[in-house]
Amino acid sequence: MLQALSKNSHWQGRRGPLVLVIMDGFGYGKYTEGDAVTDSKLYNFRELEASCPHARLKAHGTAVGLPSDDDMGNSEVGHNAIGCGRVFAQGAKLVSTSIQTGAIFQGAVWKKLTANVLAAPGRTLHFIGLFSDGNVHSHIDHLKAMLVRAKADGIKKARVHILLDGRDVGEQSALEYIDPFEQFLSGLSEGGCDYRIASGGGRQYITMDRYGADWSMVERGWHTHVLGEGRAFASAHEAVVAYRAENPVLIDQDMHEFVITDAGKPIGPIVDGDSVVYFNFRGDRGLEITAAFENDNFDHFDRGRRLVAEYAGMMEYDGDMHVPAQYLVSPPAIDRTVGEYLAATGVPMLAISETQKFGHVTYFFNGNRTGKFDEKLEDYVEITSDVLPFEQRPWMKTAEITDYVLKAIAGNEYRFIRLNFPNGDMVGHTGNYQAVVCGLEAMDIQLGRLKKAVEKAGGIMVLTADHGNSDDMFEHDKKTGAVSRKPDGSPRAKTSHSLNPVPCVLYDPECKGEYDTILAEGLGISSLAASCIELLGFMPPDDYDPSILRMKD
């Protein structure tokens, strides 16, 4: 158990709670066209921004532990940074380093997977994962490196089950990855090897569900990858071309399943005795498919048969539950988070969001830790998300989340409340501009309700985000900045996160001049941790990244 935080002798905080509002996917755009944040009528946010201390925070690249500043931030590393107050090397960087040093291939798990395949003739090494270089859930270079090593280790047969992206990369970019990859596999198949794509589909249609929101996605993935059931094609290229011919505006992430067949038979179903690598390094969308592979008592859908295979994830997706049982690269060891310190100090806390981001304000905010630090001091509330395309309900559950928080503020039960509004991110990923504007404006209505409640309670509200997304909804030419357009002249939608800074707006209606109204600039979102601790009247740990506040003596 950590030691309690020291009190600030100059300031004990406010009489009401501190409310940390994470507006997921809400940044300051670089371009005028395609910036739904600027385009939306955000009356409450703009009023707060204009009248309150505010700053812009970095939420991507090295500021959140990613390899370079060309890497967009994401909700997982963003909540890690906000919750732990320091920058840790994150999944992409850890995996890349492990591959570069060869450590991943010297590890016991890789050796076990390959030895299992080599132990009997006809066995196959399978790879399942997000098929792009978006570097949010996975990176295609990691997959290529493992395939090259597999051949060097004597593996004769490998199958790849690809989950099309269209979210962290261009919305219709699948063939930009599939075509050169097929050539890559063809080269590996020389010398008596057989390396091919076996199945696939869009990440939002098969396999990559999270938080138990839609297990039917995982069931479809299981039938596609494991049982070899689904619409048959001669190649992945053919599948993409066919689906697009039927629906020219189809985004890769929503593409239905496809199974590659030869002479009417699937070329790569996963069978007993095979080895499987789920090569995504991010955990939230890996837990459910992992459960389908690993759990004996599994009741979310009928698997058809209990597969007996050697399964491993790229990383450990849940450090407390130790899922998966086998993994290739260890995740960052994040300790001494804000939640743990506040629990040790006796601070009552509430964490709330809807299903899509519930794990972010709990598991990821707590440093990839499942469960509470103190059952008596913490309440975690999940509002069930609609199981519908987000563009059909762009307001999502902002009102329901706010309803609960208003009661919590009025009840004076908690000193620290953290919540996540998912609209800017989840609706932003759909590429539907009108829906994004609708979702942001719906969220803004709730900010107005929160403002009134915080003012009445004598609390503080901090508005921020974990990364950008809705601020950059169109594809732009990197050199000229011009909007990229489709043949019909309409803008080409961008469904991925942005590299833009995010806001930090500090609403403190009972401020008595304890800190400078000019907030520190040039900091990352990891500085929010020390800031929240200071706003609660405590001294942040010495090794936390600096607060945005300039406290007065």
Asked whether residue 225 falls in the same domain as residue 83, the answer is no
Asked whether residue 337 falls in the same domain as residue 375, the answer is yes
Asked whether residue 409 falls in the same domain as residue 474, the answer is yes
CATH value at residue 240? 3.40.1450.10
Is 3 inside any structural domain? no
Domain closes at, from 329, 358, 377: 329
Could you give the number of structural domains in the chain?
2
Tokens of 276: 């499987």
> Which residue in the block uniquely carries the two structure tokens 């009552």?
348
Express each pLDDT in 141-176 by its tens digit: 999 999 999 999 999 999 999 999 998 899 999 999
Is 366 inside any structural domain? yes
Sign of the alpha-carbon torsion through 119, 124, 129, 134: positive
Is 356 inside any structural domain? yes
pLDDT for position 143: 98
Half-sphere exposure (Cβ direction) of 344: Cα atoms closer than 13 Å = 15
Express each pLDDT in 12-36 by its tens digit: 899 999 999 999 999 999 999 999 9
Distance CA 223, CA 17 (A): 48
User: Is 80 exceeded by the pLDDT of residue 265?
Assistant: yes
Domain closes at, from 329, 364, 380: 329
pLDDT for position 352: 98
Q: Which domain holds residue 120?
A: 92-329
Asked whether residue 77 falls in the same domain as residue 148, the answer is no
Asked whether residue 157 falls in the same domain as residue 84, the answer is no
CATH value at residue 406? 3.40.720.10
Closest CA to 465 of 19, 27, 50: 27
Share of the chain above pLDDT 70, in %: 99
Is 4 inside any structural domain? no
Express each pLDDT in 37-64 by its tens digit: 999 999 999 999 999 999 999 999 899 9
Is 545 inside any structural domain? no
Catalytic residue positions, numbered:
75
Distance CA 364, CA 343 (A): 16
Asked whether residue 76 falls in the same domain as residue 99, the answer is no
Radius of gyration of the chain (CA): 24
Query: Measured between alpha carbons, how far is residue 518 from residues 537, 540, 545 in Å?
Result: 19, 20, 18
